[in-house]
Amino acid sequence: MPVAFVTGGSKGIGAACAVALADAGYDVAITYASDESGAAEVVRAIESAGRRGVAYRADARDPERAAEVVAEAEDALGPLDALVANAGVTRDGPAMRMDAEAFMEPIEVNLAGAFHVMRPVARGMARRRSGSIVAISSIVGRVGNAGQANYAASKAGIVGLVRALAREVAPRGVRVNAVAPGMIQTRLTDVLTDEWREALLERTALARLGEPADVAGPVVFLCGDRARFITGTVLDVDGGLSL
């Protein structure tokens, strides 16, 4: 049976991806930063789908821990067929008043954290000459957003990372893509003011916020064999926000 690994899988988009992958027949390992109860709930949902699930606590900023949990997941479930690099944070605020720590946290978690887990996974996939990596970017990384200079920079960096790595590992049969969600109803968007939310809805062609499941479906597609001729691409899942 295929095996998938999802970082930041205890809630939101990561949890939806983990459960959708289980529904598609994958055994699934997830990581979480602090939400142990949320991770346990996701594992139960994976098992309810008839698949094996495991969860590991990990700080996305720690490259040694990333390598450890990849090895532990493969020991528990088998070689990885798919990786969803999803772990992420926001530290919103005006750029002119943002200190260095606030700027760097999304860079270290969202961008460097994706690299830390992609590196050991890509090595194993390259040896086996198969596999799919999907990183979660954001439409904000392409169009920007006031008050999110740090987050936008981290998500724009994901695009460059994905496209570079895709070229490196394609000769080994490994695909690397990104999904760029728009406004998805998660804890990261719960902090939006009503005015900001309404402004974004007015710009979204489908006139609603997305749900985590709206992102999970495209992620599962990119992980699977039906996307076998797709690599180095960024798929917008934004309800028409970027039109």
Q: What is the CATH number of the domain that holds 157?
A: 3.40.50.720
CA distance 57 to 76: 15
CA distance 91 to 145: 13
Q: What is the mean pLDDT of each run of 10 residues along the chain (243 residues)?
A: 97 97 98 98 98 98 98 98 97 93 96 98 98 97 89 97 98 98 78 70 88 97 98 96 80
pTM score: 0.95
- The answer to the question of residue 32 being in a domain is yes
- What is the domain count for the chain? 1
- The answer to the question of residue 194 being in a domain is no
- Catalytic residue list: 151
- The answer to the question of residue 46 being in a domain is yes
Give the domain range for residue 145: 3-183+216-236
- The answer to the question of residue 104 being in a domain is yes
CA distance 115 to 1: 26
- The answer to the question of residue 190 being in a domain is no
Give me 110's structure tokens: 């969202």
